[in-house]
Amino acid sequence: MKDANLYGFLPGNDAEQNAKALQSAVHLRSSLRLNRRKHTEEDDTMTFNFKYEKGAKVYGDTRTYTEKRLSKLDRYFRSDSDASVTFNEKRGVKSVEVTIKHGTMLFRAETSDQDYNVAVDRAVDALVRQIHKNKTKLEKRLRQGAFDSADVDSEPVPETVEDELDIVRTKHFALKPMTPEDAVLQMNMLGHQFYVFRDSTRGEAIEVVYLRKDGGYGLIETE
Contact 212, 184 (CB under 8 A): no
- Quick one: which H or E segment has residue 84? strand 82-90
Contact 88, 116 (CB under 8 A): no
Q: In what order do the strands lie in the sheet with 47-52?
A: 47-52, 82-90, 93-102, 105-113
Number of neighbouring beta carbons within 10 Å of residue 183: 24
Answer yes or no: pTM beyond 0.75. no
Average pLDDT over residues 178-191: 91
* Buried b or exposed e, range 149-166, using 16+ CB within 10 angstroms: eeeeeebebeeeeeeeee
pLDDT digits (tens, 9 = 90+) for 84-135: 999 999 888 999 999 988 877 888 999 999 999 999 999 999 998 888 887 7
Using CA atoms, how far apart are residues 94 and 87, in angstroms rounded to an integer? Answer: 7
Identify the band that residue 158 occupies on the pLDDT scale cut at 50, 70 and 90. low
Architecture category of domain 177-221 in CATH: 2-Layer Sandwich (3.30)
Half-sphere exposure of 42 (CA within 13 A, CB side): 6
Give the residue range(s) of CATH 3.30.505.50 domains in the chain: 177-221
Give the residue range(s) of CATH 3.30.160.100 domains in the chain: 47-138
Long-range contacts of 53-62 (CB under 8 A, 24+ apart): 53/86, 53/87, 53/88, 53/89, 55/88, 55/89, 55/90, 56/87, 56/88, 56/89, 56/94, 57/89, 58/87, 58/116, 62/87, 62/116, 62/117, 62/120
- Which residue has better confidence, 118 or 73? 118
Query: Looking at the predicted structure, is the pLDDT value of residue 218 above 90?
Result: yes
SS3 of residue 81 by DSSP: coil
> Hey, what CATH topology would domain 47-138 get?
Double Stranded RNA Binding Domain (3.30.160)
SS3 of residue 117 by DSSP: helix
- For the ranges 8-17, 32-41, 165-174, the one whose mean pLDDT is highest: 165-174
